[in-house]
A and B are shown apart, each in its own frame.
Chain A
């Protein structure tokens, strides 16, 4: 039996953290829960409506459209950014000033505020004065992100790839740098090909950082708001209206607090659930491989 002295006063040291978490997270969350089951008619006039707002939101066709767009967008983001991040990290120099220069250049988009990223791409992709827009049109490919839904969607996707692939690159690069030299020497003795080195040494060693990269990119892309808002404002039509923008339209545009609160909770739970599924799947395969 453990006979070490136990001092309950130690809980006092944790109390400030509990208070900060309660004020910054739990109280706002409970306020949203409160709004999601009430119809707020005035400052002191509220009616309990049960699950009415949840039913209304879940049967909203606009939400279904936004959810589908969001899923496709997040899927494309992962499909492009993860392989591209790995490929660039593999190609980057490992020693000398070239390595430092590459790291600084790669990190540049991460240092730019999100609304500035939207502004850069709004100008850069403009079909009349933007370098990319004019270049694409001069190749004979009709491109206009302000009028074509596909072009707008593609521009948002490329902008996200531009902005966030550096994060994946930096994570993969850190993972690659942590591989001991002995692994490469053993592979050389065995006469392993470049592909075998990648498949059996580098990729398994990068698995943990890739897990973090996939989770971060999925959650971030699922909550994307600022960049498409600045670039397209959700248009043309609803082509680039993702879930967070749809939420902002309900909460701030229409000021429907009840449905917005219900939607916030559903949104939160969906992200939590999908992230948990991703994490469980990846850590499960990790354990299977370790056996």
Chain B
């Protein structure tokens, strides 16, 4: 069921909106340090 126009918890899934870019940027900020640390920890010495 759709909700009022524009509320954030609008369950009209599937559509890519501008605000999702912000969410993706936040997830990059969140996950990059963890990914980088794991990647560094499994890299063999050269």
Contact partner, A95, options B6, B7, B11, Cβ 8 Å = B11
Cα(A94)–Cα(B31), bound, Å: 21
In chain A, positions 149-164 with a C-beta closer than 8 Å to chain B are: 162
In contact, B40 and A192 (Cβ under 8 angstroms): no
Number of A-B residue pairs having CB atoms within 8 Å of each other in the complex: 89
Q: What 1/0 mask marks residues of chain A from 245 to 265 whose CB sits below 8 Å from any chain B CB? A: 000000000000000000000
Interface size class of A (residues with CB under 8 A): 35 or more
Contact A106:B3 (CB < 8 A) given known A120-B37, A176-B8 = no
Number of interface residues of B (CB under 8 A): 26
**Looking across the interface, which residue of chain B has its beta carbon closest to that of A173?**
B9
With A88-B26, A91-B23 already in contact, the answer to whether A197 and B7 are too (CB < 8 A) is yes
A131 CA / B43 CA spacing, docked (Å): 15
Residues of A within 8 A of B10 (CB): 94
Could you tell me which B residues sit within 8 Å of A by CB distance?
1, 3-11, 13, 19-20, 22-23, 26-27, 29-34, 36-37, 40
Given contacts A95-B13, A120-B37, A184-B7, 8 further A-B contacts (CB under 8 A): A120-B33, A124-B36, A176-B8, A179-B9, A194-B5, A197-B4, A197-B6, A202-B9
Top 7 closest A-B pairs, CB basis?
A194-B6, A90-B8, A184-B3, A188-B4, A187-B4, A197-B7, A184-B4
Residues on A lying within 8 angstroms of B by beta carbon are 84, 87-96, 98, 102, 105-106, 108-109, 112, 120-121, 123-124, 131-132, 162, 166, 176-177, 179, 181, 184-185, 187-188, 192-195, 197-198, 201-202
